[in-house]
Amino acid sequence: MTRTKIVFVGAGSVVFTQGLLADLFAFPELKDAHIALHDIDPERLATAHGAARLIADDRGASPRITAHADRREALVDAHFVINIIQVGMREATRTDFDVPAGYGLRQTIGDTLGIGGIFRALRTFPVLRALGEDIAELCPDAWLLNYTNPMAMNVGYLRRATGLTRVVGLCHSVYWTMQGLAELVGVPYEEVDYLAAGVNHQAWVLRFEHAGADLYPELDALIARDEQLRRRVRVDMYRRLGYYPTETSEHSSEYVPWYLGHDSEISRLRLPVGAYLDIVDENVAAYESTRSALAAGQPVPVESTMEYAPQIIHSITTGTPRTVYGNVPNQGLIDNLPADGVVEVPCLVDRLGVQPTRVGALPAQLAALNRTYLSVNDLVVRAALEDDPRHIRHAAMIDPATAAVLPVERIWDLCDDLVRAHGDLLQPGLRATLGH
C-alpha cells in the first residue's frame, strides 16, 4: 500500500511544523505517512528533522521521514504539500515595520493587508510561482495547503499565476473566534452552531446559535455589562456593524481606517503597536529552545494544535467527511464580492477533496469592507502578474489604513523606500523606484 506523502515547504518553521506533525500522527491512518521536510536553511531543516523523529516516537508512529535541501526532490509524487514559508524571515519583517514607522504609519501585525501585507506578498510571490510550477510538473494531483500570509493574496496569486486548482488557504481564526465566543456565553463549543464568511482575517459570524436559539442577544448583554470587553476593536466593530469579526483586535485594526491613526483610539482600545515584532522574537526563541533540547538529547514537548491541514489530509485520505473553513476563489460563493477574489467560507472535505459552500450575499456593510480589502489584494497580485510597479503604489493608495494617515506623495515615497529595502527579494520588474 502506498504511503501518503506529505511535503512541508518551509519546515524550518519548526514550532508550527511540530504542531502539525502531532496532529497528523494522532490519526492512526497517517502514522505511517511519508513526511518530506524541505527548507533552504540547513540548520533549521536539521532541527525540524530531529524534532519530527522525536514526535513520531512519542506518538507511537512509524512514518518515513526525509529531509531535503532540494525542493524538487522533496515534491516528487507528493499527495499533499503544506506551505509555511516566510520569505526574508525576521529581518524582512522588521523592515516592514521600521520603514513605515519612519513615516508615522503604525502597524500591529503587518502580515495581511496594509503596507506590511503588500510587501510581504511581493517578496513571497516569486517563491510561490516557482513552487507552483514544480508542483504542476512533479505532483500535479497534489493538494497545496497554504498557511503563509498574506493568505488571500497568496492564494489568489497561486491560482492566477500557476493555474493550479487544488489550492486552499488555511487559517485558524474562525475556529478560535468561535471557541472564544462559546466560552464567553457559557455554551460548550461542541454545542454551538455557527456560520462565518467573508475574507481571511475579515470574515464575519453570520449565525451564532445554540439549540436553534440565537446567541447574539446573550453576547450583547455581556458586552453591555463589561466595559473591558468594549475596549476591544473587534467588539467595537461588532457593535457598529452588527456582526462579530473573526480575527483578533490587533489584526482587525489594520484593515480599516478608523483606529491606528488616532492616539485616542489606540489608548481606548489598548492596541499594541508593533506587536508582531515581539511574536517574531518569541518564535525565534522557541526555535532556539527546540534546537538546544535536541542537541542535549532532551524531550521536546509538543501539543496538538487542531489545525485544518491534518484534518483535510485525513478526510481526503479516508473519506471521513468534515467541515473546515478554507480560503478559495469566490466564483459565486459570496454574491456581492468579486468573482476572482479569494474568500473564506465553510468547505466540505471528503475523498473528493475540498468543496466550498455557497453562502449567498453578505450584509451590505460587511461586503463593502470586504470589497475594499479585495481591491487591495487584486492590485498587489496584478503588480506581480503584469510586472507593473505602479500597481504597488495603487494598492497602497487604496489601502484603508495607509490612506488614512499619509498623503499620496508620502505613500509613493514609502513604497520607493520599501522597494529599496527589500531589493532582490522582489521580482526584477518591481524593483523600480518611481518617485512622484
pLDDT digits over 107-141, tens only? 999 999 999 999 999 999 999 999 999 999 999 99
Count of C-beta atoms within a 10 Å radius of residue 42 = 11
Residue 154, domain CATH: 3.40.50.720
Pair type for strands 80-83 and 5-9: parallel
Query: Is the distance from CB of 9 to CB of 82 less than 8 angstroms?
Result: yes
> How would residue 1 be classed by pLDDT, with cut points 50, 70 and 90?
low
Confidence (pLDDT) at 368: 98
Range of the domain at 124: 5-169+298-316
Give per-residue pLDDT as tens, 41-97: 999 999 899 889 988 998 899 999 999 999 999 999 999 999 999 998 889 999 999
Does any domain span residue 208?
no
pLDDT at 67 (0 to 100)? 96
Give residue 267's pLDDT: 94
Helix and strand totals (H; E) in the chain: 18, 13
Would 321 be classed as within a structural domain? no
Cβ-contact 406, 393 below 8 angstroms: no
Give percent of the chain above pLDDT 70.
100
DSSP 360: B
Q: How many domains does the chain have?
A: 1
Q: Which pLDDT score is estimated for 12?
A: 83
Report residue 333: phi and psi, to 5°: -75, -40
Q: Which residues are catalytic?
A: 172
> What is the structure's pLDDT at 294?
75
Q: Minimum mean pLDDT among 91-95, 235-239, 347-351, 413-417: which range?
A: 91-95
- The kind and range of the H/E element at 230 are helix 227-230
Specify if 340 maps to a domain. no
Instruction: Identify whether 428 is part of a domain.
Output: no
Cα(360)–Cα(362) distance, integer angstroms: 7
- Let me know if residue 93 belongs to a domain: yes
Name the DSSP letter for residue 58: H
Q: Of the given ranges (155-169, 233-247, 300-314), which has the lowest mean pLDDT? A: 300-314
| Torsion of the alpha carbons at 47, 48, 50 and 51, rounded to the nearest 10 | 110
> How high is the pLDDT of residue 436?
60
Asked if residue 76 is part of any domain, the answer here is yes
For residue range 301-323, list pLDDT tens digits in order.
777 778 899 999 999 999 999 99
Please check whether residue 419 is in contact with residue 123, taking contact to mean a CB–CB distance below 8 angstroms: no
Q: Are 422 and 92 spatial neighbours (Cβ–Cβ below 8 Å)?
A: yes
- Residue 287 pLDDT > 80, yes or no? no
How many angstroms separate the Cα of 284 from the Cα of each of 91, 280, 288, 294?
12, 6, 6, 15
**Residue 171 annotated in ligand binding:** yes
Question: Is the pLDDT score of 295 beyond 80?
Answer: no
The average confidence (pLDDT) of the chain is 94
Q: Is 101 helix (H, G, I), strand (E, B) or coil?
A: helix
Q: Is residue 186 part of a domain?
A: no
User: pTM for this structure?
Assistant: 0.94
- What pLDDT is stored for residue 90 in this prediction? 86
Q: Tell whether 245 is covered by a domain.
A: no
